[in-house]
Amino acid sequence: MKKLRRRIFATAGSNTISLGTGRKEFHPKKPRPGLEHYIKEAGQGALAQINDADNIDEGVIGNFMAARFNRQGNLAAMMPMVDAKLEYKPLIRVEGACGSGGLAISTGAKSILAEMADTVLAIGVEVQNTVKAVYGADILGGAGYYAGQRKNGHAYFFPGKFSDRAGAAYEKYGYDKVREAMARWYERAVLNARECPKAQEHHNSTEDLFAAGMTPPNPKTFCEHINFYDCSKVSDGASAVILASEEGLD
C-alpha cells in the first residue's frame, strides 16, 4: 500500500516535564510521582483541549517494562484514571522498547484506518528512576536479545552497543574528530533543552558544555568509547496526543 486511504490528524498534544537528575525538582532520596501521576497529567492535558472525553473512541498507551521498573502490568487499565468516561472503551497497551510511544501512535492510526475509531487518545509513559542506573541497565537490556547477548554484553548493555559503534567511528575518522563531533552534539542538545522548560536538561547551567562533552571515556567505570555526556539520562515523564479522522476532528 503506497498511500493511506484516510487522512489522519494529530492534535491536542501534551507533555509533562522529563524528571530526572539535573532537574531542580529531582532528589534521588525523596518520593517522586509515579506512573499514575504522569498518565493522568499528560492524558488530561490532551483532553482539556477538546470538549468532552466521551468523544474519544479508543485509547492506546505505549510503555517499556513497567512490569519491572514499577511492578505494574496491564497499563491500559490505568487509562480511565485520566477520565472516567474512558471506562468500557477499547483500551490497549503496546510495547516496542524505545519505540513504544511511536507504536502507540501507529496503533491508533491503524484503528482509524480500519474505521474502528474516529478519535484515539495515544499516551506514552515511562517512570524509570525507580531503580539505580546499574539495575536500570538490566531492565533496558531486555530490549536486546537476552538469551543470546546479555551475558556477554556490557554492564550498561545499550551504552555498550553505542560504545562499540563509537569505537568503529574513531577507527574510521580518527578519535579527535569524532570526539569533538559528539561533544558538539551534547552541547547542542543541552542548548536546545535550555529553551524548553519541560526538558530534563533545562536547568543545566554548565558553562563549558563542549569541554564536558570532551571528557575522555573511562572504561573502568563506564564504557570504552563513550562518556556519560554521550548518553541520555534516565527520565520519568509522559506525552499524549489525540489522533483523529476528518470526522473525528469535527
Partner 1 sequence: MDLDARLEKVAVLGAAGKMGSGIALLLAAEMAKQKIKPENKDRTYALHAIDVSDEALCGLVSYLRPQITKIAEKSIVALREAYKGREDLVENSDIITAFVDEAMSVVRPSSKLESTAGSRLIFEAIIENKDIKIDVLKKLDAICPDAYYLTNTSSIPITVLDEGVGLGGRIIGYHFYNPPAVQKLLELISSKSTLPEVVELGTELAGRLRKKVFLANDIAGFIGNGHFMRDILHATGEVARLSGELGEAGAVYAMNRVSQDYLIRPMGIFQLIDYVGVDVCRFIMQVMTEHIEGETLEDDLLDRMAEAGVMGGQYANGSQKDGILKYEGGRPAGVYDLEKGGYRLFADGDWTAKSDEKLGAMPEGNAAWRALLMDPKKEQKLATYFGNVASSDAFGAGLARTYLVRAKEIADKLVSDGVANSPEDVNGVMTNGFYHLYGPINEYAGLVAAA
Residues that bind partner 1 (CB under 8 A): 132, 134-135, 137-138, 141, 146, 150-152, 154-155, 219-222
For the bound state, the minimum distance from the C-beta of residue 199 to partner 1, rounded and expressed in Å, comes to: 24
Which residues, in sequence order, are CB contacts of 142 under 8 Å at separation 6+? 65, 68
What φ, ψ does residue 154 adopt, rounded to 5°?
-70, 155
Judged by beta carbon, residue 132 or residue 165, the one nearer partner 1 is 132
For the bound state, the minimum distance from the C-beta of residue 208 to partner 1, rounded and expressed in Å, comes to: 9
Distances, alpha carbon 248 to alpha carbons 50, 62, 181, in Å: 11, 22, 45
Judged by beta carbon, residue 38 or residue 158, the one nearer partner 1 is 158
Judged by beta carbon, residue 24 or residue 151, the one nearer partner 1 is 151
For the bound state, the minimum distance from the C-beta of residue 132 to partner 1, rounded and expressed in Å, comes to: 6
Which residues, in sequence order, are CB contacts of 232 under 8 Å at separation 6+? none
For the bound state, the minimum distance from the C-beta of residue 146 to partner 1, rounded and expressed in Å, comes to: 8
Q: Which of 97, 122, 160, 123 is nearest to 243 (CA)?
A: 122
Q: Are 215 and 222 in contact (CB under 8 A)?
A: no
Report how far Cα 69 is from the mean position of its chain's Cα atoms: 14
Alpha-carbon distance of 45 to 81, in angstroms, equals 13
- How open is the CA angle 133-18-196, to the nearest 5 degrees? 135
Alpha-carbon distance of 15 to 41, in angstroms, equals 8
For the bound state, the minimum distance from the C-beta of residue 71 to partner 1, rounded and expressed in Å, comes to: 15
Judged by beta carbon, residue 33 or residue 142, the one nearer partner 1 is 142
Judged by beta carbon, residue 38 or residue 157, the one nearer partner 1 is 157
Judged by beta carbon, residue 1 or residue 147, the one nearer partner 1 is 147
What φ, ψ does residue 49 adopt, rounded to 5°?
-90, -5
Judged by beta carbon, residue 3 or residue 220, the one nearer partner 1 is 220
For the bound state, the minimum distance from the C-beta of residue 166 to partner 1, rounded and expressed in Å, comes to: 16
For the bound state, the minimum distance from the C-beta of residue 33 to partner 1, rounded and expressed in Å, comes to: 25
Q: What 8-state DSSP symbol labels residue 72?
A: -
The secondary structure element, H or E, covering residue 240 is strand 236-244
